[in-house]
Amino acid sequence: MSDDHIHYMRLALERARGAAREGNRPVASIIVRDGAIIGEGQNTMFTDFDPSAHAEVAAIRQACNRLKTVDLPGSTLYSTLEPCPMCFWAMQEAKIGRLVLGARHASVKRTDLGRYTVESFLEFTGRKLEVINGVLAEECEAMRLEWLEAQAAKKP
């Protein structure tokens, strides 16, 4: 595992913790190209009252706006949690070339997506993407599972 992957995933973890402190899901993403961060995002669904306010989409929007383009080839997107189908499709539309993952949906016991994985979506659509798994996975998983436990404790 490269030091760069660890560095950028640590930054994403910091952002994800911030999302949780603000009352959102603890998910964050960072987009890097040529060694520079071009986009960052965190989940803001609950504070923005927007079901599309996911970390990956926010990072893609920021990167595209900064660069005044809708295409981000040569970019790497770091995400603390495997992107959902909506976010993954946004990545494909932006032509992001690499995805670096922390936690997987299966590892945090998320069952509402059925058998979905980024690899199954790639197979289904016939698209290509380099996927690097397991970067700081234990930290990413623990953060998500702790958040889920806290949410469950709040319910009557």
Q: What is the pLDDT of residues 6-50, one digit of tens each?
A: 999 999 999 999 999 999 999 999 999 999 999 999 999 999 999
Low-confidence ranges of the chain (pLDDT < 50): none
pLDDT on residue 149: 84
For residue 102, which of 74, 40, 144 has the smallest C-alpha distance? 144
Alpha carbon distance 66, 33 (integer Å): 13
pTM: 0.92
Active site residues: 56
Q: Which residues of 24-49 are buried (b: 16+ CB within 10 A; e: fewer)?
A: bbbbbbbbbbeeebbbbbbbbbeeee
